[in-house]
Structure 1
Amino acid sequence: MWKKLKALHTWNGWIITFLFVSGILLFLPAARGILAPVRVGLKQIHIGVGIASVIVLLLYLPYLRKHYKSRKQTGKRLNLITVIVFILIWTVSGLILTFERSVTAQMAESALFVHDLFTWIGLPIILYHSISRLSWVRKQQAPLIQTEEADGKLKIPLSRRGFIQMVAGTAFVVFIGPSFFKWLKQLMDDGGQSLKSVIANDRNQMTPPPTPLPASSPPKGGGYEGDFRIYTVTEIPEFTNENWSFTIDGLVDNPLTYKWEEFVKLKRKVQVSDFHCVTGWSVKKVTYEGIPLKKILEEAGVQRVAKYVKFYSGDGVYTDALTLDQAAMDDVMVAMLMDGELIPSDYGGPVRLIVPRMYAYKAVKWLVRIELIDSPHLGYWQVRGYDTDAWVRK
């Protein structure tokens, strides 16, 4: 029995360690670009290993009564029950996020909150416990530090195992602590402060700024009541009047190129729509102001042979595409303002695409070019495993 229990401890330790590392890599915005070629595969493996962790934990159940009956083992039993509860909560919330399209937006957001919360609170405790239970760590008993006073009465040993546990605890404080408090601060900050902070750090220098239409103010939600997460697969580009232009070309009768001074004079409209990320979070009732995409395409004159609309990001890397029918939807917009403010660089400004009925990876940030083409185009995330049609809960 002891051998089986030790084997379960070892397996559980390695599984939790893998889930910790892969989960952090999937979470970190800075890692999205680096891991882009393998990110979808890593996510699937993370989900599979998470399910496997439940199977391993279920194998513990017979030992809860057989091995942990005595009072001396009560603490261990409670510890094991805590671990089981945490992993079951991670699994349930993770499965909801995996099948995000099949649930309501509120359920997905609640699952994301619970998954994050129990990760930040429980993972350091469980990972520390798991590392200490690994057979390799448990064998590290030889003392590294051993001091004695002259009379031989005082002895302070530090075993290799103790050293590893001390390093693990320090790592949690140094690396995980700041991330937790950053996440907590984002959770507690109201959206208005969050948006104002992003605007204050805007990398773009575009003049003159567009004057918001009356319908854009006061804003009805968005950045003032919600909280955007900033994801990017490249360094965030910076634009000025000198290096920014907007082009519509390809299979059109009238190719167009605008400089900023010309672009801000184009007729705009205001719409209020929700913003959905495929990872499970949403921002409700964002007030956007910009030019309906179909109006831009009408101005350029789409040729009959054109079938798709391809979008280029100013980062020089990211692209995506819509069919002509999708591009003609009334709420697809080339947006310049969000909640009455010029869209800042962190949120994809000065101009970005908005496709409310699709997940946000279709809404190309830092939009600088639209090309009409006659064959399908797989965008940045599609070639890496994402769906081409990104309908929200359809």
Structure 2
Amino acid sequence: MGKRWFKHGKWPRWMVWLHSYTIISFVLLMLTGVALYAPGVHSMLIPYLMILYYVHIGLGIIFGITLLVPLLVRLPIRKLIRRLDWLFPLVFGAMVVATGVLLWLVTVFPTTWRSRAFTWHGWLSYVLSAWLIIHAVYKAFAYQPNKEGINAQVDPSRRMFLRWLGTGIAGAAVLTVIDPVGTLRRSFASLSTEQKNDGNGADFGAYYTVTNGYPTLDLARYRLIVNGLVANPVTLKWSDVMNLAAQQEKTDFHCVTGWSVANVRWHGMSMQTLVDLVKPSRQAKYVHFYSFDGVYTESLSLPEALDPTVLLAYRLNGQPLRQEQGFPLRLVVPKMYGYKSIKWVNRIEFADKPLVGYWEARGYPNEAYVGRGI
């Protein structure tokens, strides 16, 4: 078997290529992941995010397959490897892939798992990135570790690879399902007065804006304009908004970039309340939403807008919205990805034709139901 695998003490060429590809694919995974998540980078790459999303998933699938190669092929006999050179990629690579699967399959797993997986997916990727840098440095300087140390050379076996791979998968399960670190963090946080008084306590993955910073508007100057194909167009002051019938919804919130928040409590008025107030005509088939940031727009069909879970919210988890969360008023569409939940709403228009929203004009689908992908 050894003669078929390598010659003159070297790994076969295809395995060298596979090793190089695995490193390159992980670097690309990190770059596309940062582009999808980091607000600053995310905003600059808006026209390409849909492509990057699918590229990221594709790279992740192939990266996961490469981790399984040692289990699917016969390894060279008496070809030694350094223990950490395989332990780190297999254990942490398996954890990155496992948490990535939880993020990808939105509707298959509980939201609480998915929200934890998002956090660990990032941190585990950073750990693996750090190891790759260390690996590259000592390779470049031809560093030879101690033959008896933690990075001593070993003769690989499938059982060894299976044990390391299983450790990674089990570790990902512990972190996302049992969440021991999160439990300890919450225990310590409960002792902190500062944490208790920290806004509305919503643990959102990131806050996005398509303009330079978050727009501000004093409540005394705020006006909600509701017009279009309606019998009774109105302009509501903030006191008028607060006097309208309100309701509360407890739902999960999913961002198209991967993170989720479970059991978010929104408080505000339903679209049905506005419909009863302005009385749309029979020609009105769509509802357009405008933000006072001057850029963001969104559109829902009238049946979508009248879904009982859809709210124009002004409170989150019992507290007023913060500026970055859409203060003073935002749309919440729980059954769709977060980009449909436009923030800083100051105008609503009933129309006979759909409006091409900000993200839709850049390639995102108009119907963004969770679980159907982007």
Q: 1:41 aligns with which of 19, 42, 51?
A: 51
Cα distance change, pair 255–111 in 1 and its aligned pair in 2 (3 A): same
Q: 2:122 aligns with which of 116, 120, 135?
A: 116
**Cα distance between partner residues in 2 of 1:353 and 1:363:** 5
Q: 2:244 aligns with which of 244, 264, 267?
A: 267
Q: Which amino acid letter does the alignment assign opposite residue 85 of structure 1?
A: V
Q: Which runs of 5+ in 2 are unaligned?
A: 1-5, 143-180
1:1-394 matched pairs, under 5 angstroms: 1=6, 2=10, 4=13, 5-59=15-69, 65-66=76-77, 68-69=79-80, 73=81, 76-130=82-136, 138=140, 188=185, 196-197=197-198, 199=199, 223-224=200-201, 226-234=202-210, 235-241=213-219, 244-264=222-242, 266-278=243-255, 279-392=257-370
Q: Which amino acid letter does the alignment assign opposite residue 216 of structure 2?
A: E
- RMSD across aligned C-alpha pairs, in angstroms? 3.2
**Cα distance between partner residues in 2 of 1:120 and 1:251:** 52
**Cα distance between partner residues in 2 of 1:321 and 1:34:** 23
Q: Which amino acid letter does the alignment assign opposite residue 232 of structure 1?
A: Y
Q: Which amino acid letter does the alignment assign opposite residue 23 of structure 2?
A: G
Cα distance change, pair 380–32 in 1 and its aligned pair in 2 (3 A): same
Displacement of 1:43 in angstroms is 1.8
What secondary structure sits across from 2:43 in the alignment?
coil
Cα distance change, pair 12–236 in 1 and its aligned pair in 2 (3 A): same
Displacement of 1:306 in angstroms is 0.8
Contact 1:333 1:355 in 2 (8 A): yes
Q: Which amino acid letter does the alignment assign opposite residue 208 of structure 2?
A: T
Contact 2:88 2:128 in 1 (8 A): no
Please report the TM-score for the alignment, with normalisation by the length of structure 2.
0.73
Cα distance change, pair 11–194 in 1 and its aligned pair in 2 (3 A): same
Tell me the number of residue pairs that the alignment of Structure 1 and Structure 2 aligns: 316
**Cα distance between partner residues in 2 of 1:127 and 1:384:** 36
Displacement of 1:245 in angstroms is 1.9
Contact 1:336 1:352 in 2 (8 A): yes
What secondary structure sits across from 1:231 in the alignment?
coil
Q: Which amino acid letter does the alignment assign opposite residue 347 of structure 1?
A: Q
Displacement of 1:243 in angstroms is 5.1
Displacement of 1:131 in angstroms is 6.9
Contact 1:17 1:127 in 2 (8 A): no
Please report the TM-score for the alignment, with normalisation by the length of structure 1.
0.70
**Cα distance between partner residues in 2 of 1:52 and 1:81:** 19
What secondary structure sits across from 2:91 in the alignment?
helix
Contact 1:230 1:347 in 2 (8 A): no
Identity of aligned residues (%): 30
What secondary structure sits across from 1:298 in the alignment?
helix
What secondary structure sits across from 1:368 in the alignment?
strand
